[in-house]
Chains A and B, each alone.
Chain A
Amino acid sequence: MADLVTLTIDGRTVKAAPGTLVIDAAKQNGIEIPSFCYYEGLSLQAACRMCLVEIEKAPKLMVGCTTPVAEGMVVRTDSPAVRTARKMTLEFLLTNHPLDCPVCDKGGECELQDMVFRYGAGESRFAEMKHHVDEKQWSPVVFYDGPRCILCYRCVRVCNEGMGVGALGITNRGVTAEIAPNKGDHLECDECGACIDICPVGALTSGTYRYKTRPWEMEYDATICGHCSNGCKTTLGVRNGQIIRANNRDKSGVNGEFLCIKGRYGFDFVHSEERLQSPLKRVGDKFEEISWAEALATVAGKFKAIKERGGKFGVIGSNQTTNEENFYLRKFVREGLGAPNIDHRRTGDVGALLQALGGKQGALATVGDLYLTKAALVIGSDLSQQHPLLAYQLRANKRHHNAHLYVVAPGAVREDQYAFKSVRAAAGGELAALEGLRDSLKAEADLTILFGDSLQGEAVGKLVAFADSLGIPVKYVPLVDYSNSRGAFDMGVGPAEGGLDYNGIVSATDLDAVWVVGENPLKDKALGSTGAFVVVQDLFLTETAKRADIVLPSASAYEKNGTVTSVTGEVQKLKSGAKVMGAKPDLEIIGLIGKEMGLNLGLIWKSDKVFEEIRKTVKGYDLPLPILTTGGAAQASAAEVMSSEQRAASIQSSRDTLFTSGTLGRYSKMLQSVMESPGGLYRG
């Protein structure tokens, strides 16, 4: 590393790496240089003039956000000249600003408000008419109020660079300059809302949150997004048990401030009118609401009777319930019911990879690794659609470190735009296509491979053998679909020897009881065991729930505590925020059924206690509690958790896009309302 540069900021001698910007050097030493347009991670703009500082020997004030440090430089960030400049910049920014703070969504957490409060211009010399344009709606998500805009270009840059979409621009100039959407009067984009969150003022507002509440009226609960497998932290703004908004402005979690439309706006399924709020009992071809006590007693009574007469159970766990719930369910079924038939829906072959790696440590990439890897290879996935955070990380890596990206996909993907090499290969042809990339891959310093459901079983073994033959360090991400797909697998929610797998349970004709916890296997199939007693735990009256004899309303991920494991094997804690009357977390439901049956599993159904047990008994899950309890992510180490015959179940990705999310997406009005919905894969 090159020698550090020594400079003086506000009389303090500080050191910084060559090339560091003055604004960053000051920040590293606890000195704030205010700015609007400067944004860490995005390209430099130098548009707002808020960061002007005095640098000795420079003829005039310099912008701290684009001036690199130099040896012997003397910077003053709080001299009278600087203070005056800030005041004038703010006075200028406010000339056309409507100052409608009392009704503005941003009021209370607005950067312009804060700056004026601290550095501010208490009065204005501007006596002319303000230039007014009406507010515009660009999509169900995005609204733009031109007069509030201070033209810092953050939204334009985050959309171009961060998202790789480029849906926003700036049109006109001078007083009439404003942000413009890509389709004239509307947006066609990812509808992710990054532009809205990054806006320092209230110029961009969201259809979900606008005019609903004030920021200080909400409580904030940082939890993990319940939609896809990427494990983004989303901070829910909750008022009276109701989620009003979700964002991640504090950059906590593996995703920093990244969220897609699902994480930011797709929470509305929680408060859908169609949520089940009372247990239901089938009477003829109708459902009747019954009490929890009656429902639990009925289920426990039936289960007990079936167990006693040696009847057959078929149990399906969920990709979206917590590790604790899956662990407890498995324990309940295997030990409590003594039943072998339990499985969950597989969306990617994690097991084949773990087997091929044979316990080799350090071979699973984290979300953070994707930002640092020198090269990445994406096989059989439309990453921007199916794994938006992983795609975002690779995009940032390319932008900041010029990482090489290789794509092997059956159709056009967004990654093609910046890929080092991109080849088309239909499912089954991926490994052959890889041979063509061998020489380029060999020349890389290291590599991270992300592969979708088109590689399974033996093919995964061949992939690992191919990677080993390159002679460079390689890490992997086996792509799976849902928020806890990885966890359900790791918790061993799979059949015991000779037991039925997922499809087997659905198609078997001789089961006496079928218990489905948070899954919808009967979406397009009929249950084979027509005479079975069916219990379904779900948020909604899904196709599967409609077939049930007893439906138990369960709580969503946003209403419970516990842990989930992301696609990269990173375990993070959920924190309950929302409240929905009548629904219970699946863990509690399972525990209460056990209690009614008089089972003693030797483990109480409290998520902390169950997690203790997981740490002790599940391979790879001996994770550091301090990291988890403080909201961090800890990666489960690679351990083979299921034998190969247990993994023989059919594996298929649900092929969700950015705008679909299995069952949850169907009940999110916001996701349904954008014109891009439901979208499709491999369209570039």
Chain B
Amino acid sequence: MLLYAQDEVGQVTEELIAEVASRCGVTPLQVDEVVGYYTMLHRKPLGKFHIQVCTNIACMITGGQELYEHVCKKLGVGNRGITEDGLFSVEEVECMGSCSWAPAVQVNYDFHHYMTPEKLDALIDAIRQTRKAQ
């Protein structure tokens, strides 16, 4: 519920917490506990495209850490940072269950496997192109 709400609103706000709490019949504090626990719930706004780079073991040994550093440098932001145009944000995440196809990157809900810096560049550029065209 929180995830869907976050998708719609863009971030988890106090109002959102209050609304979810009243719909579920729990206290806002109990909703807040869930928000605090799960890292995919964000209290700050994210970019339109949220790039999540896994740096857990399988991804790390196949270049996840380099990928993460690369994308930070390319977009000029740090962990959970957001680009000035609000288009991208970057987050270093824990395992997302794609170890067999490591290193893995998730952009919003889309998985991208066997990622390389070049492929990631291409992906980001493609997104920018599409946005410009619109």
When the two chains form their complex, are residues B28 and A171 in contact, meaning their CB atoms are under 8 A apart? no
Closest-CB distance, B38 to chain A (whole angstroms): 8
Report A-chain residues with C-beta under 8 Å of the C-beta of B33. 169-171, 180
In whole angstroms, how far apart are the Cα atoms of A182 and B21 in the complex?
13
Indicate with 1 or 0, residue by residue over B14-50, a CB within 8 angstroms of chain A CB atoms.
0000000000000111101101110000000000000
Residue contact B36 to A166, C-beta cutoff 8 Å: no
Supply 27 A–B pairs (Cβ within 8 Å), ascending by A. A166-B27, A166-B29, A166-B30, A167-B29, A169-B27, A169-B29, A169-B30, A169-B32, A169-B33, A170-B33, A170-B36, A171-B32, A171-B33, A171-B35, A171-B36, A171-B37, A172-B36, A172-B37, A173-B36, A180-B29, A180-B32, A180-B33, A180-B36, A181-B29, A182-B27, A182-B28, A182-B29
C-alpha spacing A166/B21, complex, angstroms: 13
- B14: nearest chain-A partner, CB-CB: A184
How many chain-B residues does the 8 Å CB contact rule pick out?
9
| Chain B nearest Cβ from A308, distance in angstroms | 68
- B residues near A168, Cβ cutoff 8 Å: 29
**B44 to A: closest C-beta gap in Å:** 15
Q: Which of B28, B29, B33, B35 has the most CB of A within 10 A?
A: B29
Interface of B is mostly: helix
Residue of A nearest to B27 (CB): A166
Q: How far is the CB of A131 from chain B (nearest CB, A)?
A: 15
CA distance A332 to B36 in the complex (A): 66
Name B28's closest neighbour in chain A (CB-CB).
A182
Residues from chain B with a CB closer than 8 A to the CB of A180 are 29, 32-33, 36
Residue of B nearest to A168 (CB): B29
A168 to nearest B CB, angstroms? Answer: 8
Provide the A176-219 mask, 1 if CB < 8 A to any CB of B, else 0.
00001110000000000000000000000000000000000000
- Given the complex, which residues of B lie within 8 Å of A170, measured CB to CB? 33, 36
Cα separation A171 to B30 with both chains bound (whole Å): 9
Residues of B within 8 A of A181 (CB): 29
Q: Which residue of A lies closest to B36 (CB)?
A: A171
Q: Quick one: CB contact mask for B61-74 with A, threshold 8 Å, 1 for yes?
A: 00000000000000
* Additional pairs, 16, CB under 8 Å, beyond known A169-B32, A180-B33: A166-B27, A166-B29, A166-B30, A168-B29, A169-B27, A170-B33, A170-B36, A171-B33, A171-B35, A171-B36, A172-B37, A180-B32, A180-B36, A181-B29, A182-B27, A182-B28
Q: Which residues of chain A come closer than 8 Å to B30, judged between CB atoms?
A: 166, 169
A62 to B37, CA, bound (A): 26
Taking CB atoms, residues of chain B closer than 8 Å to A172 are: 36-37
- In the bound assembly, the distance between CA atoms of A675 and B27 in angstroms comes to 20
Which residue on B lies nearest to A182, using beta carbons?
B29
Write the A338-375 contact mask toward B (1 if CB under 8 angstroms, else 0). 00000000000000000000000000000000000000
